[in-house]
């Protein structure tokens, strides 16, 4: 072998060695980038099932994230449009006014002020004793040309005491609200006569008197399955206690397959617990970061997490504050921090 041949072989060998080294470096870099992205990125609907510790009886989930169901979230929940597409094709506003504890007079004024601010979802119940006030607030807004009836979404509920005659309960709510139809009627909480109540709601749904139906205070898979076993019309909404300390991610994940959306009552923890929620270190830090109030951070979290939310207030300034949540967006890291606040603690056990 002459000198020239040896040089050529040496060059070829060097090129091969360099190519192998470069290939190894590229593979390692790509793997590191992929691992880094996996550990740092966060999707609010993404949860590793290996980290789940689920208690079926409570419906709780000790994991911090959710199963990846981005298509569900994007197709049904439209924050930019301020609406959610229910499983019956009806649209429901994703942010509303709760009226629990308000008198008829307070409810009328609060509903009227909320509608003027921009709220289009109003939540009441027979049990609250303020359906007449809610109806008057809506009617006043219509009479003044602020809205049309079709622009407002009214939710009411059948109280347990009316379970023996649910038809009469629905008729009473229609009369007190002074409307031809109710946009959403819920069973207020589980009882001994749920199937009869649900059948009644289905009848009024088919007659066009109820545009959507659902359930409230059903927290476990077993409770939901019982309703689904006799429901001819799948519930559109489950309205439950839901806040930063009780997120019940497992139930939300389960009902997604039926396109059932969870609506949050007590989004701030309810009276007596609001301060605890507002003064949480994570919430206060994010409020400072976005130059928003704790209430606005919590409401925005509910919306980005895929919950319809109904904060209650009779204070005009608070009502305005609660609606001013559409001009910012929490980052995925922010959402993860709030998910980590969850300790599966409910404040009420209705």
Residue pLDDT tens, the chain, 350 long: 655 555 556 566 665 666 656 666 555 445 444 443 333 332 333 333 322 333 333 333 333 444 445 555 667 888 999 999 999 999 999 999 999 999 999 999 999 999 999 999 999 999 999 999 999 999 999 999 999 999 999 999 998 888 899 999 999 999 999 999 999 999 999 988 999 999 999 999 999 999 999 999 999 999 999 999 999 999 999 999 999 999 999 999 999 999 999 999 999 987 789 999 999 999 999 999 999 999 999 999 999 999 999 999 999 999 999 999 999 999 999 999 999 999 999 888 76
The Cα 112–Cα 103 span in angstroms is: 14
* Rg of the Cα atoms in the chain: 26
- What's the whole-model pTM score? 0.80
Specify the pairing of strand 54-55 against strand 60-61: antiparallel
From the list 73, 112, 128, 205, the catalytic residue is: 128
297-334 exposure pattern, b = at least 16 Cβ within 10 A, e = fewer: bbbbbbbbbbbbbbbbbbeeeebbbbbbbeeeebeeeb
Can 246 be counted among the known catalytic residues? Answer: no
Strand ranges (E), 79-161: 83-85, 91-93, 97-98, 121-123, 153-158
Give first-to-last CA distance, the chain, whole Å: 93
In this structure, the number of other CB atoms found within 10 A of the CB of residue 32 comes to 10
DSSP string, 260-287: PEEEEESTT--TTTHHHHHT-HHHHHHH
């Amino acid at each position: 072998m002459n000198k020239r041949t040896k040089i050529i072989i040496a060059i070829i060998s060097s090129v091969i060695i360099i190519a192998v080294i470069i290939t190894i470096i590229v593979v390692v870099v790509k793997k590191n980038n992929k691992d880094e992205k996996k550990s740092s990125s966060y999707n609010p609907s993404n949860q590793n099932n290996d980290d789940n510790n689920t208690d079926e009886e409570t419906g709780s989930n000790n994991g911090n994230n959710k199963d990846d169901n981005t298509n569900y979230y994007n197709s049904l929940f439209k924050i930019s449009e301020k609406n959610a597409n229910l499983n019956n094709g009806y649209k429901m506003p994703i942010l509303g006014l709760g009226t629990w504890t308000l008198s008829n007079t307070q409810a009328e004024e609060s509903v009227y002020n909320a509608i003027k601010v921009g709220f289009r979802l109003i939540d009441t119940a027979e049990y609250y004793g303020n359906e007449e006030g809610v109806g008057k607030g809506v009617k006043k807004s219509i009479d003044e040309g602020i809205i049309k009836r079709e622009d407002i979404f009214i939710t009411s509920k059948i109280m347990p005491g009316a379970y023996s005659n649910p038809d009469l309960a629905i008729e009473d709510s229609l009369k007190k609200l002074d409307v031809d139809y109710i946009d959403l009627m819920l069973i207020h909480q589980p009882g001994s006569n749920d199937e009869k109540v649900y059948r009644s709601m289905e009848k009024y749904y088919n007659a066009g008197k109820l545009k959507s139906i659902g359930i409230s205070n059903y927290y476990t898979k077993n409770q939901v399955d019982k309703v689904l076993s006799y429901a001819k019309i799948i519930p559109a909404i489950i309205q439950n206690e839901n806040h930063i300390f009780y997120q019940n991610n497992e139930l939300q994940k389960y009902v997604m397959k039926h396109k059932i959306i969870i609506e949050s009552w007590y989004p701030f923890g309810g009276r007596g617990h609001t301060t605890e929620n507002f003064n949480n270190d994570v919430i206060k830090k994010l409020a400072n970061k976005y130059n928003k109030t704790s209430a606005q951070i919590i409401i925005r979290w509910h919306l980005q997490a895929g919950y319809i939310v109904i904060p209650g207030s009779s204070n005009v300034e608070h009502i305005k504050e609660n609606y001013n949540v559409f001009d910012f967006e929490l980052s995925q890291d922010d959402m993860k921090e709030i998910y980590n606040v969850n300790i599966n603690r409910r404040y009420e056990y209705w």
